[in-house]
Amino acid sequence: MTAAAATIAAPVAEVGFNEPVLAQILIAVIVFAVMLQLVPMLLIAERKLLGRFQGRYGPNRVGPFGALQPLVDIVKLAAKEDFAPRTASKAVFVIAPVIALFTAIATTAIIPFGDTRSDGLFGADYGLYGIDVSIGILYAFAFGAIAFYGLMLGGWASGSKYSFLGAMRSAAQLISYELAAGLSLIGVVMMSGSLSLTAIVREQSDMWFVVPQFAGFLIFTIASFAETNRAPFDLVEADAELVAGYQTEYGGMRFASFMMAEYMNMITFSGIATAMFLGGWHGPGPGWLDPFWVLAKMIGFLILFIWVRATLPRLRYDQLMSFGWKVLVPLATLNLVVTAILVVAL
Amino acid sequence: MVQLLFFMAAIGAIGGALAVVLLRNPFFSVLALVVHLMALSVLFLLLHAEFLAAAQLIVYAGAVMVLYVFVVSYVGGADELLAEAGVARKLAPVFGVVLLFAFSLAIGGSALKALDTRGADLPAGFGSPAQIGELLLTRFLLPFEIASFLLTIAAVGAVLLARRRRGLEEVDDVSGDGGVV
């Protein structure tokens, strides 16, 4: 490796190890492409499944079994005018969906699709994930913290009371449930003794953490429904009262960006759940199946998202708040204390 | 790459800090503060303090500033007049000049000495969560515990202050029977 390449490849922060530049770019492109392709697949899967849950067909006109419906939808949205209401604060209005989408995509980098390989494909060891940072799961929460501004600014800049109320709800909801989600993950971190997602998955070769950390898994699942603004916690965009919450005034690709960010967040949360609780790439079969195990587990978790949406009615706002603070946070804290005692005692 | 990131983050930090003071709309001031804090976290990252960078984002951008945004967008109108010039307003420039003098002394005395050096040697695992945790629970145990005690007092105090105002009990009653229209 030449000196110039070495300076480019030198990591800015502490990482597990450092691949050649070519491998980094290639892996980044593959992870990005796969993650991005999951979004339209998730869109059509959600609409088809919702249809079946409700005793109807769902979209079935465009392409075989309606499979091309998301493509048509996206083309329609892309062709629309980029409209901003007169009362909107223009610059903030434009930048809000960018923040939402950027943070959603950036978080997907830490989802591990496989262990580090040393089969000499790139002339060096390489890992099947975007990055393996020492702060691990905190990376996801750091971007989650910024993601809030996408929703909040979108709602505020729209200059509409429905958007504003939706954004305010999202603010309170995100803070409340991020705490529960974080606390539920600390149990796993304590059991594995590492924050790095790859190290956590390696620890699960004998037993998935969903077994000893079942309470943590349940809390994380519920909190992730709330964090991604999905039913039954979709008060942020409660159609009946707030039209569509913070995205009411958005149309065209800006609206599509918000929707995409929401679906990317679902995918990220299912990826984190897979790595933290469901054994990540561990599964029967040869080593090259590892990424497919991760994808299969993620899709299973995503179907749970859709299933819950089709099944449960929406909560009232005060119920949502008291459930988050009076039930989930104490339960997560209890789970944390019990795990800490057991980890020290055993 | 590192230099580029440093200058981007440095400009972001200084520009953000200036914008906080100079912007007239309080909402944009708060947003400028968020930009400033994010730029600071990038600087932490460049100093090999990943945990600090993430903590900066999660705690400040994710929690503290969220409350600021919350409050400012509810009550802070852009057309509100600034408070009448009081004693504090008159003393502010004096404090500003004194602070500038103190910082100039500090920078001239210590920080500039590090120019053209490689900086302090980083031991392995520097800035990692494990090392910070160990330091917090051994060398800095007392300050850590005092800080946590202080935060607990603040949390209890906040609950007490909010409880004393009328209205909360009524909200609780409503949540019981589901009679919200």
* Structural domain boundaries in chain B: 1-78, 128-175
Place of tokens 């299933």: A307
Six-digit token string for A217 = 């898994």
State how beta strands A116-117 and A126-127 pair: antiparallel
Whether residues B1 and A148 touch (CB distance < 8 A) is answered with no
Query: CB of B47 within 8 Å of any CB in chain A?
Result: no
C-alpha distance from A9 to closest chain B C-alpha (Å):
9
pLDDT in tens, A135-188: 888 888 888 888 888 888 888 887 777 788 878 877 778 878 888 888 888 888
Query: Domain B1-78 is of which CATH architecture?
Result: Up-down Bundle (1.20)
Residue A235 has pLDDT above 50, yes or no: yes
Rounded distance between C-alpha atoms, residue B18 and residue A196, angstroms: 37
Taking each helix axis from N to C end, the angle separating A137-157 and A161-192, rounded to the nearest 10 degrees, works out to 180
Taking the C-alpha atoms of residue B36 and residue A50, their distance in angstroms, rounded to an integer, is 44
pLDDT for residue A343 is more than 80: yes
pLDDT at residue B11, rounded to an integer: 92
Which residue has better confidence, B126 or A241? Answer: B126
Interface contact A12-B127, CB threshold 8 A: no
Contact between chains at B62 and A171 (C-beta distance less than 8 A): no
Residue B178 has pLDDT above 50, yes or no: no
Q: Which residues pair with A15 in a beta bridge?
A: A133
Distance (Å) from the C-alpha of residue B45 to the closest C-alpha of chain A?
6
Instruction: Tell me which chain A residue has its CA closest to the CA of residue B5.
Output: A12
Q: Cβ–Cβ of A135/B58 closer than 8 Å?
A: no
Going by C-alpha positions, the residue among A127, A181, A173, A106 that lies closest to residue A16 is: A127
The predicted structure's pLDDT at residue A69? 84
DSSP letter for each residue of B84-147 = P--HHHHHHHHHHHHHHHHHHHHHHHTGGGGTTS--SPPPTTTT-HHHHHHHHHTTTHHHHHHH
- What CA–CA distances, in Å, run from A81 to A153, A251, B18? 21, 8, 36
What pLDDT does residue A7 have?
39
Residue B131 has pLDDT above 90, yes or no: no
* Mean pLDDT, chain B, integer: 79
- Quote the percentage of chain A above a pLDDT of 70: 89
DSSP A89-154: -HHHHHHHHHHHHHHHHHHGGG---S-EE-SSSSSS-EESSS--BTTTHHHHHHHHHHHHHHHHHH
Say yes or no: B15 contacts chain A, CB-CB below 8 A. no
What length does chain B have?
Answer: 181
- What confidence score (pLDDT) does residue B85 get? 63
Say if residues A282 and A205 touch (Cβ distance below 8 Å): yes
Q: Do B57 and A135 touch (CB under 8 A)?
A: no
So what's the pLDDT on residue B146? 94
Q: Which residue has the higher pLDDT, B134 or A15?
A: B134
pLDDT at A13: 52
Q: Is the predicted pLDDT of residue B116 greater than 80, yes or no?
A: no
Mean pLDDT of A62-70: 82
Q: Is B13 on the interface with A (CB under 8 A)?
A: no
The mean pLDDT value for A98-123 works out to 81
Say yes or no: B127 contacts chain A, CB-CB below 8 A.
yes
Q: Is the pLDDT of residue A30 over 60?
A: yes
Q: Minimal CA–CA distance to A53: which of A305, A291, A306? A: A306
pLDDT score for B76: 63
pLDDT at A275: 87
A134:B1 CB<8 A: no
Segment A269-296 shows an average pLDDT of 84
Looking at the predicted structure, is the pLDDT value of residue A325 above 50?
yes
B7 in reach of chain A (CB within 8 A): no
What ipTM, to 2 d.p.? 0.78
Q: Report d(CA B60, CA B67) in Å as an integer.
A: 10
User: Does B127 contact A14 at a Cβ distance shorter than 8 Å?
Assistant: yes
A311/B109 Cα distance (integer angstroms): 66
Tell if the CB–CB gap between B128 and A134 is shorter than 8 Å. Answer: yes
Residue from A101, A312, A142 nearest A221 by CA = A312
B69 CB within 8 Å of a chain A CB: yes
What pLDDT sits at residue B142?
92
A8, A13, A195 member nearest B48 (Cβ): A13
Beta-carbon contacts below 8 Å between A and B: 91
Residues of chain B contacting A181 with CB distance shorter than 8 Å: none
Backbone angles phi, psi at A133, to 5 degrees: -90, 155
Nearest Cα to A303, choosing from A100, A66, A62, A38? A38
Asked if A155 and A166 count as a contact pair (C-beta separation under 8 A), the reply is yes
Q: Which residues lie closer than 8 Å to A136 by C-beta, 6 or more apart?
A: A110, A194, A195, A196, A197, A199, A200
Answer yes or no: do A168 and B70 touch at CB < 8 A: yes
Q: pLDDT confidence of B82, banded at 50, 70, 90?
A: low
Query: With contacts defined as CB-CB under 8 Å, which chain A residues touch B34?
Result: 149
Compute the average pLDDT of residues A340-346. 86
Nearest CA in chain B to A175: B63
User: Is the Cβ pair A8, B1 closer than 8 Å?
Assistant: yes
Instruction: Return the DSSP state at A212.
Output: T
CA distance A82 to A257: 12
A146 vs B2: CB contact, 8 Å cut-off?
A: no
Q: Which residues in chain B are closer than 8 Å to A313, comparing Cβ atoms?
A: none
B58 in A contact zone (CB under 8 Å): yes
Q: CA-to-CA distance for B44 and B9, rounded, in angstroms?
A: 10
Residues 6+ apart with CB under 8 A from A86: A159
Would you call B34 an interface residue with chain A, using a CB distance cutoff of 8 Å?
A: yes
Tokens, residue A251: 């149309």
pLDDT of residue A5: 36
Question: For residues A167 and A216, which has the higher predicted lDDT (pLDDT)?
Answer: A216
Per the model's pLDDT, the better-predicted residue between A163 and B41 turns out to be B41
Cis peptide leading into A85, omega within 30 of 0?
no
Predicted pLDDT at B54: 86
pLDDT in tens, A83-105: 777 777 778 888 888 888 898 88
Kindly tell me if the per-residue pLDDT of A10 is higher than 50: no
Instruction: Give φ, ψ of B118 to 5 degrees.
Output: -85, -5
Residues 6+ apart with CB under 8 A from A15: A131, A132, A133, A134
Check whether A124 has a pLDDT greater than 60: yes
Residue B78: the pLDDT is 53
Nearest to A138 among B45, B58, B63 (CB): B58
pLDDT band at A3 (very low <50, low <70, confident <90, very high): very low
Q: Which of A43-52, A150-159, B71-80 has the lowest mean pLDDT?
A: B71-80
**Of the partner residues A139, A145, A156, the one whose CB lies closest to the CB of residue B73:** A156
Is residue A279's pLDDT more than 50?
yes
Q: How would residue B81 be classed by pLDDT, with cut points 50, 70 and 90?
A: low
Position A120 scores a pLDDT of 64
Closest alpha carbon to A77 in A324, A245, A205, A257:
A257
